[in-house]
Amino acid sequence: MARSQRLRNLYALVLSALSGLACMAAASAMAADSHEELMGWAHAAIKASGVVCTPTDARRAWMIGEGRSAGRLASHRESGARGSRKDGGAGPGGFASGLGGQGLGSFVADRPMFVEVACAEGLGYLIPMEQRPQVSANHDVTDRAASTAPKASPTQFMNCLEAGEASSKGVFPLHCELKANADQRAALQSLATHLGVECTIEAARGMGHNEALSFFEIACVRSAAAQKAGVAPIGYVIAADRAFRADHANAVMTCFETQGHSKLQCQLTHVDQIVAALHRFVTKNDAACAVRGQRLLGLTREGDQVFETACVNGKGYLAVRRDKDVFTDLIACDAPAAARACRLTRFEGATGDRPSS
């Protein structure tokens, strides 16, 4: 009897092991099929949104009702609505403003699924899908689903950098998780080089977007010599086409130029103390000058930074930063020596165009 019971137990153990192996094989097959389907969704989403992306990997970022609590969704709806009231316009840097003026919570709730895509071009995206598209083996949307292909305007997606920033601030419930999207600097490095910026990017973050542009902050690596000399780190804000098309309008500004814009202030490169010292230096020498803007003009032969400032009353000055927060050599923009260098102010004899504000 005991021997018979042992045989039955052994038989049950073998069946259990075989069943486990079968389940593992089935799960593996399902995973492969699922990834194939996801790549099909990725191609459909990319086509609908218009982003420049050759997909290398994809995943379903979130399906409403799967793996998320109703309470967490509600909290994001509330925070999204608050963000919409605060940043409801088309201003840069507003995470809600780039989603057609609606709060992020309702934006998420209205789309049952997001697809995260990793792209050969470097920048990754989270793209909403209003329904699961029918896809063929070559990843094209089939004729049967062509009429109901997922709709996505150029504002209805987020790149991984801005999604990560918004998620860290609690105003967006998703962030990119694909391994290929862990480091997004390569794409921005390519764009910065294209724009003529001499910067080896050390860190980057997304600042938000409006209907036409996405905004990124980049911080540059400083050489050992520059660090020893106490040269302030230089950072930039890049305004890039939303779909990241290199042949479309892209622009770059230093962190000094964007310091006066509350939504475009740099956080990776801290320039507030330098800008404050510059303003103090100018107003100390000209009490009638209320500084409305500044930019880093360049370096002297000795390596000192030269700044241009613009006053509300129309005047402008050049100032040289000698050490830390010490400025010297204030030169009025209407002086012959500075006339060709100043661009932020209008004055008689100026040759540079005033940038649009």
The sheet with strand 158-159 has its strands ordered as: 55-63, 113-119, 125-129, 158-159
The 10 Å Cβ neighbour count of residue 354 is 12
What share of the chain has pLDDT > 70, as a percent?
Answer: 64
**pLDDT-derived band at 176, boundaries 50, 70, 90:** very high
Which of 115-124, 255-264, 317-326, 341-350 bottoms out in mean pLDDT, i.e. has the lowest?
341-350
**Lowest mean pLDDT: which of 9-23, 34-48, 108-122, 229-243?**
9-23
What local confidence, expressed as pLDDT, does residue 9 receive?
A: 55
Please state the rounded mean pLDDT for residues 191-202.
91
Condensed to tens digits (0 to 9), the pLDDT of residues 278-330 reads 999 999 999 999 999 999 888 888 878 899 999 999 999 999 988 777 898 89
Mean pLDDT of 258-280: 90
Taking only the tens place, the pLDDT of each residue in 38-79 is 888 889 889 888 888 999 999 987 644 444 433 333 333 333
* DSSP collapsed to 3 states, 71-116: HHHHHHHHHHHHHHHHCCCCCCCCCCCCCCCCCHHHHHHCCCEEEE
Domain boundaries, given as residue ranges, for the chain: 27-185, 190-258, 272-332
pTM for the whole structure: 0.69
Closest CA to 239 of 273, 268, 223, 263: 263
In a 10 Å sphere around its CB, with 0-12 CB exposed, 13-18 middle and 19+ buried, how is residue 141 labelled? buried
